[in-house]
Amino acid sequence: MPELPEVETTRRGIEPHLTGRRLRSVTVREPRLRWPVDERVAALRDRPVLAVRRRAKYLLLDLDGLHLGVHLGMSGTLRVVPEAAPPRKHDHVDLVLDSGQLLRFNDPRRFGAVLYLPDLEQHPLFTGLGPEPLDAAFTGEWLHRRSRGRKASVKTFIMDNATVVGVGNIYAQESLFLAGIHPSRPAGRISLGRYQLLAEAIREVLARAIEAGGTTLRDFTRVDGQPGYFAQELRVYGRAGEPCRQCGTPLRGGRHGQRSTVYCPHCQR
């Protein structure tokens, strides 16, 4: 599933084409996505696009008085194409703009979503979310305070959206390696100083991944159709049995919360 950097890369790609335009109409060819597309989406007409934002792994189009949310699921992509471009297989939703272009949502597996959100703050998908990892509210102090008394592994802890949003499996592993923290260590037994290192590592890893265009996953391509390139820089994810790039020790694999984990037994304590 695309993680936060992939979603942010997509947001940056589509934002210049949408902000300041008017949404003339919406075409829904296939409403049977992860959640059925609300009939009010197809009824939208002549709405200004005020901003294109991201919250966790959701893209948000701020319209006049409401929001449209898009989740890419496992295989979803968004592309800006000319209005006359014929739809391809799995092109489920078109947002038609006043520029002569449209934003097209393609999703072969249909695990993605297009959401009608009249009240974002009260929607169950958005209540209870933790801070954004690149915002000032996300700090080592926040992680340390929230972790007290927690017996779950630190990897599971930072992948909880109530702790911090958008730190998925790939970037949790990379951040823990950069901070030198073993993924199995109980969250409640990590010091403030080490959480400060971890918060900084999360910010650094995500910022580098966004700059590089996201991580190359099997189904993910950027809005320009090209794959991301951050996978070339991965230090532990997917490299079990290979030598650590920092010390040469063979990397080990395990599982946390049903998710695969790779770590260095020498560099991470």
Residue 259 among the catalytic residues = yes
Rounded CA separation 207/260 (Å): 23
Residue 155 among the catalytic residues = no
Query: Residues 24, 203, 252, 259: which is the catalytic one?
Result: 259
Query: Residues 11, 47, 54, 57: which is the catalytic one?
Result: 57
| Catalytic positions, written as ranges | 2-3, 57, 259
